[in-house]
Chains A and B, each alone.
Chain A
Amino acid sequence: METPEGIALRLRAAGMMPRAAAWAIDFALRLAVLWMFGIVLALLGDLGVAVYLIVLFSLFWLYPVLFEVLHDGQTPGKRAVGLRVVNANGTPVGWVPSIARNLMRTVDMLPLFYGFGLVAGLVDRNSRRFGDMVAGTLVVHVDNPHGHSTAPNVPAVQPPLLLPAAEQGAIVAFAERARQLTPERQQELANLLPQLTQARGAVAVQRLLGMASSFLGRQ
């Protein structure tokens, strides 16, 4: 995605799992609100029933639209999970796209349990459901991925050559995943970069982890 300033801005599209979690939170919240209204309005007779039905309508159709437009593209559920709805060009979502994507929920819900939406989201590269395609919107992660990196804290090592961001990212990702790999596999991977580490085996692994630390700005 390129901004008018000529900057390539990377938006990290959210997958179906966090979105389902956000939806579940929203659903529980709406159910709770409806339940509370139900108790109070049951005392009011016919007027109460009317208000109850209108509340039900609002929770079903208006709740996502109002929150997305007035609350930085976040329903309470999305806020809790750390997601945000934005236009495909990264700008905040407006009334018309928000209405479009939430109208299309009706389609994505079919045949049951958001079946079509789930399939569309798994197939699409940016995991958009049909509603997102029609509205031209994306659901993105809000938080910064490397803010609290899980890479092991080892003394920084300056790399012998300057690496582009994508390659730095690959090394950081290696460091973050190192704990899940066996030592043999770590060494096997580190041995692929003899020029960079100028070593083999366990030493190479240590150097790569050190470089990851330096890329992450640690001392």
Chain B
Amino acid sequence: MKQDAFQARHDAEWTALDQWLAKRTRPAAKQRGRDADGLFGDLEFPAMYRRVCQHLALAQRRGYSVLLIDRLQDLVHRGHLVLYRPPPPRWQAVIQFFGADFPRLVRRHGRAMGIAAVLFFGSFIGVIVAMQYRPEFAHSLFDASELARFEAMYDPANADARLGRESGSDVKMFGYYILNNVSIGFRTIAAGFFACIGSVYVLLFNGLFLGGVAGHLTAIGYGGPFWRFVAGHSAPELLAIVISGGAGLQLGMALIAPGRRSRGRAFVEAGNDMAKLALGIFGMLVFAAFVEAFWSSIGWMPDPVKFGVGGLLWVLILLWLWRGGRGAAHAA
């Protein structure tokens, strides 16, 4: 068939598809409900799209002009984007994710999470213990001005002040914690890309830093206000750091040891898990920021309540990570 005849025969279909696509790819609010008027119904779109696919194949095979092929290519690509778009997200999926998928994902990468936990808690507890015997160790971790700042923040002498704050109200600190902590979590994950090195560094650094502060304050007798402040939000925050480290480690492993996959393939799979873990970490850190800003800073609460709530959160979160999504049918 000559190109002219081909074009003349099918031009109406192409124009219709073009207009339908133009209508359908407008913002969702405008298109809801009614079929694109005057064209063809939505149910006919797949058939229409496949016809144009066939036209494109024919045009390529018969060596029709570049312009025609480009026009059909454009139609097919736009149709492809509409036909194969992901289903709109549902709220149920969010519950499903935090209730089951996220804990399951953490357990699936149990080894990376375990290594991250050992790196972080190992350095954290190691430094705290070391400082009880060798308090001067603090001076090799921090310089004098930093130490003075930590000491001022948790000085038992002004115990009626708000805990753990130099200045600033709860709500302001909430914003600060969101920006700061979530950014650190996300960077920890991405840092694992370079063969795990970045994540290992961040885990060790945070372990030493936080352990150093805790150990020093405990050693000089300022432990009371400090532990009262951190008890509440320690569980979600520290576990989120460990999980982001683990997520970074599994990403780095895709580079070091992709196993029986190509590196590209391994990266895409690891990247997929990484993004999901990042979503979960985001949730945990927002929760931690909330607790840290509005609960941890309350000064007058008696110790048993403070430490009770902190311990309860540890138990609940660990239980959630350990049992969440178990037993329920695996939704693929």
Residues of A within 8 A of B (CB): 3, 5-11, 46-47, 49-54, 56-57, 60-61, 72, 86, 89-92, 94-101, 103-107, 130, 133-136, 144-147, 149, 162-165, 168-169, 172, 214-217
Contacts of B66-88 to chain A: CB distance below 8 A: 66-71, 73-74, 76-77, 80-81, 84-86
Which chain B residues lie closer than 8 Å to A106 at the CB level? Answer: 186-187, 190-191
Q: Given contacts A60-B183, A215-B65, is CB(A97)–CB(B53) below 8 Å?
A: no
A interface majority secondary structure: helix
Asked if A9 and B193 sit within 8 Å, CB to CB, the answer is no
A146 adjacent to B70 (CB under 8 Å)? yes
With the chains together, A9 CA to B86 CA distance in Å?
19
- Tell whether B34 is near chain A: CB-to-CB under 8 Å: no
Q: Mark B258-276, 1 if CB is under 8 A from A, else 0.
A: 0000001001101110111
Structural contact, A9 and B76, CB atoms closer than 8 A: yes
- For the complex, give the distance between the alpha carbons of A2 and B74 in Å: 15
Given contacts A7-B76, A46-B171, A135-B268, contact A92 B86 (CB under 8 A): yes
Query: Once the chains bind, are A97 and B275 in contact (CB under 8 Å)?
Result: yes
Interface centre among A6, A86, A101, A104 (most CB of B within 10 A): A104
B57 at interface by CB-CB < 8 Å: yes
Please tell me which one of the listed residues B66, B179, B186, B193 contacts residue A54 in the complex, with CB atoms under 8 A apart: B179
* Contact digits for B157-185, partner A, Cβ 8 Å, 1 yes 0 no: 00000000000110111111011001100
Q: Knowing A103-B189, A136-B268 touch, does A3 contact B76 (C-beta < 8 A)?
A: yes
Considering the chains assembled together, what is the distance between the CA atoms of A149 and B183 in angstroms? 46
- Residue contact B268 to A134, C-beta cutoff 8 Å: yes
Q: Is B251 interfacial (CB 8 A cutoff)? A: yes
B327 touches A (CB below 8 Å): no
Q: A103 touches which one: B57, B70, B169, B278 (CB < 8 A)? A: B278
A91–B84 contact, CB under 8 A?
yes
A99 contact set on B, CB distance < 8 A: 275, 278-279
